[in-house]
Amino acid sequence: MSSNASVAPVGVGLIGLGTIGTGVAKVLAENAAVIEQRLGFPLRLVRIADLDLETDRGVDLSEIRFDSDSDGLIADPEVDIVIELIGGYGIAKKITLAAIDAGKHVVTANKALLALHGEEIFGAAQGKGVDVAFEAAVGGGIPVLRAVREGLAANQIESVLGILNGTTNYVLTEMERTGEAFDEVLKRAQELGYAEADPTFDVDGIDAAHKLALLAAMAFGAKMTFEDIPTEGIRGLLPIDFEMAEHLGYRLKLLGIAKSLHDADGSPRIDARIHPTMVPADSMLANVDGAMNAVAVTGNAVGPTLYYGAGAGELPTASAVVGDLMEIAREIRRGRAGRVAPLSYPANELVALPLAGTGELFGRCYLRFTALDRPGVLAHITGALGERGVGIESVFQEGHAEEGDSVPVVMLTHPAREEAIREAIDEIDRHSHVTEPTRLIRIEEEL
């Protein structure tokens, strides 16, 4: 290392000293030697800004200027790269744009911000000739964005399928393991720190949609925001869904799915969606348990590839942030930013590809009806499906309800168009002997 002593360090300023920020400070301190060996010069955390100056984060900050002045940090000539770890769409956006405007490179883990305002932020960065890097935004410590953007750049990407949210994967794994209801498992997940006090973004699939929007943009060169993606979370799944999934040879996962489609005339479209999915129990994604994440990417040259690891957490996420810092630091030393466009495609190559509607999906579906246990109910349900050309592969109804009580009736359909299944469900759910909205769970066989 002494051979590199003459090369000046690249300076880093960190805004937001929460869990990930603390991890970044730790990785930069603990791995300083290997980072310097790999770069050929040191990476120095020169300044931190956070509103909380009191909490002991368990890391030595004595050599680092630490105050609440984020404007001062951005303007500081010793800071070459600004790390934004505040999160959210509001202040984080202002800080990111201010840093870019000041000619600073930015590293962020903020998927929400980029999945909504990516075009504006990347455009501003291009205008200023600075980089915006965000490996930590998808899959925490898993370097899946770099894999899609660079390692697989020679491919036409066919599909990206992933378990993109650790909180929901933990809840689903626990519901399956214990047979407990969603609310009980979620409460325990919150007590153990796996789920936030306000779990909305995670359990309703929004966090996964943020991540899928970024992955799909990179994979297909598609201009998209997360609001374009049909999103269904894991609320409303019942213990019986897990029992039936096991019986049928599947496991339940919240999948982010993005596929490249072509119309008959060859024009491209994207099928992108987030929803609970039954996946074959022996598939690799089915066996990703607890808070882990995994992303399967298939390219026309490489075939299927799989990326697995910790999707959140202090040190795994910091690993991705510091990897980005190193990449940008190399560019700074090289004297030229923008080696690879943030979304893999230069901004002028990104196109607004039409999205396929979920009604167009074709496949087998799991349907859970909740109906009064009366003669004729089953005939009505199968009739409504049959009239629309939806065949039934199997029917399950266990037990017998007292007069006036409901029972779950589960059906597995033959491959059918989802629009037809939805129409049948609409009709079925209007009938007075159906007491709860019917739940449809899609089955993904090709994993």
Footprint on this chain of ligand HSE (rule: CB under 6 A): 165-167, 202, 207, 311-312
State the nearest-atom distance from the C-beta of 174 to ligand HSE, in Å: 14
State the nearest-atom distance from the C-beta of 311 to ligand HSE, in Å: 5
Residue 205 or 311: which CB sits closer to ligand HSE? 311
Q: What are the start-end ranges of the E strands in 59-103?
A: 65-67, 81-84
State the nearest-atom distance from the C-beta of 163 to ligand HSE, in Å: 9
CA–CA distance, 206 with 33 (Å, rounded to integer):
39
Residue 276 or 311: which CB sits closer to ligand HSE? 311
Residue type, 12: V
Question: Nearest CA to 309 among 447, 167, 86, 142?
Answer: 142
Residue 256 or 408: which CB sits closer to ligand HSE? 256
Residue 167 or 298: which CB sits closer to ligand HSE? 167
State the nearest-atom distance from the C-beta of 380 to ligand HSE, in Å: 41
Question: Nearest CA to 7 among 36, 32, 34?
Answer: 36
Q: Tokens 């129990």 identify what position? A: 281
The CA distances from residue 281 to 232, 247, 269, in Å, are 21, 10, 30
The CA distances from residue 342 to 176, 207, 230, 396, 429, in Å, are 38, 20, 24, 49, 46
Residue 131 or 207: which CB sits closer to ligand HSE? 207
- Quickly count: other Cβ atoms within 10 Å of residue 144's Cβ: 32
Element (H, E) at 44: strand 43-49
Would you mind telling me the total number of residues written for the chain in this entry? 447
- Residue 426 is encoded by which pair of tokens? 């609409």
Residue 22 or 260: which CB sits closer to ligand HSE? 22
CA–CA distance, 96 with 12 (Å, rounded to integer):
14
State the nearest-atom distance from the C-beta of 182 to ligand HSE, in Å: 16
Residue 211 a catalytic site member: yes
Of the candidates 93, 104, 211, 259, the residue annotated as catalytic is 211
Element (H, E) at 419: helix 418-430
State the nearest-atom distance from the C-beta of 136 to ligand HSE, in Å: 8
Element (H, E) at 116: helix 111-128
Residues identified as active-site: 211
